[in-house]
Amino acid sequence: SSIPVLVTGGAGYIGSHAVLALRDAGWPVSVIDDLSTGSRYLLPDDVPFYEGNVADRALVERIFAEQDIGAIMHFAGSIVVPESVEKPLDYYRNNTVASHSLISTAVDAGICHVVFSSTAAVYGEPERVPVDEAVAKLPINPYGASKLMTERMLEDSAAAYPLNFAALRYFNVSGADPAGRSGQVGKGSTHLIKVAVEAAVGKRDHVDVFGTDYQTPDGSCVRDYIHVSDLVDAHLKALERLIERPEENLVLNLGYGRGLSVLEVLDALDKVLGQPIRREMKGRRAGDPPLLISSNKALLETLDWNARYADIETILTHALDWERKLQSRNWA
């Protein structure tokens, strides 16, 4: 089955990869994005594009009608943790309130399936690692709270209306389209792999290592870095499952179930480059949990999904290829 899908935030990093994957797989796909952080050039020209916000009810109703939309992949939102602490009300507006409007418009239009972009930040500082989906959800910042509230709206809506949903909790999304069509755009990104490949192409002169005295094997923080194409593949499989089983919802972590330290990531990049990137050892960054690794048992058991790009050198190579492309086109 392939029903027309609306991708919100489709001009962003993850959303644009979802658009490409849906299009590659033959799904009719349209995009709504307000271009507050997204970029048109991440999208193919033949994808119907609507510039605007998901909270614009009239616009969303028009897209549903014009494109005969049957399912939504909802990526639009704000995602920077420290910014969410500074501007919590912006986060509740952009993530929670806007999602309320979108879900409500979808329910009124009889749209049945929603795949939602959630986050490991719903767990806060998890009581156990690897983190499974039953771990207590106690977000420690407005970003995580704003996403968790949307999960709850979906859960309650699915119980009350003819709608089912998948809440997909991302670990550390990284890498870029293997075919070089999309990737992460700079604009002051603070994510390790983005920062590291920027240093690799000379946009920065070093990489800071935030914290070397954690209770981890090498003292730096450990994360579960997942390639954006594998992450997006799980979205397509989740959508197929929602269509096949309209009575069921899905709540799944998206990660590989393996951890890499900051120093291991930088070592791997040095290897890919064949030369070392300058590092500066710094103090701990506020709010960083030492160890965050996903259990992906539920993902593997529920969806016919397997990791294709888990190798860190593959992730770094794709991120680096994309960074070079950005640089050569003067895009960011």
- Contacting residue, 178, 288, 297, 325, with ligand UDP by CB under 6 A: 288
- Contacting residue, 86, 128, 190, 281, with ligand UDP by CB under 6 A: 190
For the bound state, the minimum distance from the C-beta of residue 69 to ligand UDP, rounded and expressed in Å, comes to 31
Size of the site for ligand UDP (CB under 6 A): 14
For the bound state, the minimum distance from the C-beta of residue 125 to ligand UDP, rounded and expressed in Å, comes to 12
Does 256 qualify as catalytic in the annotation?
no
Q: What angle separates helix 312-328 from helix 262-273, to the nearest 10 degrees?
A: 60
- Contacting residue, 7, 158, 168, 209, with ligand UDP by CB under 6 A: 209
- Contacting residue, 191, 203, 297, 324, with ligand UDP by CB under 6 A: 191
d(CA 221, CA 78): 24
In contact, 14 and 75? CB cutoff 8 Å:
yes
- Contacting residue, 192, 232, 236, 312, with ligand UDP by CB under 6 A: 192
Catalytic-labelled residue, pool 13, 91, 123, 143: 143
Query: Does a cis peptide bond (omega within 30 degrees of 0) precede residue 130?
Result: yes
For the bound state, the minimum distance from the C-beta of residue 208 to ligand UDP, rounded and expressed in Å, comes to 5
d(CA 9, CA 213): 38
Please choose, out of 25-33, 57-65, 162-170, 205-213, the segment that lies near ligand UDP by the rule CB under 6 A. Answer: 205-213
Beta bridge partners of 166: 115, 250
Nearest one of 117, 139, 313, 72 to 231, comparing CA atoms: 117
For the bound state, the minimum distance from the C-beta of residue 239 to ligand UDP, rounded and expressed in Å, comes to 25
Beta bridge partners of 119: 170
- Residue 204 tokens, joined: 């920065």
* 95 touches ligand UDP (CB under 6 A): no
Q: Give the number of residues written for the chain.
A: 332
For the bound state, the minimum distance from the C-beta of residue 209 to ligand UDP, rounded and expressed in Å, comes to 5
Nearest one of 142, 101, 144, 99 to 9, comparing CA atoms: 99
* 285 touches ligand UDP (CB under 6 A): yes
Please choose, out of 18-26, 108-116, 186-194, 313-321, the segment that lies near ligand UDP by the rule CB under 6 A. Answer: 186-194
Indicate the residue among 109 and 195 with the shorter CB distance to ligand UDP: 195
Residues 165-184 that bind ligand UDP (CB under 6 A): 172
Residues 234-263 that bind ligand UDP (CB under 6 A): 262
Residue 270 CB partners (closer than 8 Å, separation 6+):
276, 277
SS3 132: coil
- C-alpha dist (Å) from residue 86 to 13, 81, 89, 92, 126: 23, 9, 9, 12, 23
d(CA 268, CA 88): 36
Indicate the residue among 190 and 306 with the shorter CB distance to ligand UDP: 190
According to DSSP H, which parts of 25-160 are helical? Answer: 57-67, 81-86, 88-91, 98-109, 142-160
For the bound state, the minimum distance from the C-beta of residue 268 to ligand UDP, rounded and expressed in Å, comes to 13
Please choose, out of 31-39, 189-197, 237-245, 298-306, the segment that lies near ligand UDP by the rule CB under 6 A. Answer: 189-197
Q: Which residue is nearest to ligand UDP (CB)?
A: 221
Binding site for ligand UDP (CB under 6 A): 172, 190-192, 195, 207-210, 221, 223, 262, 285, 288
The catalytic residues are 143
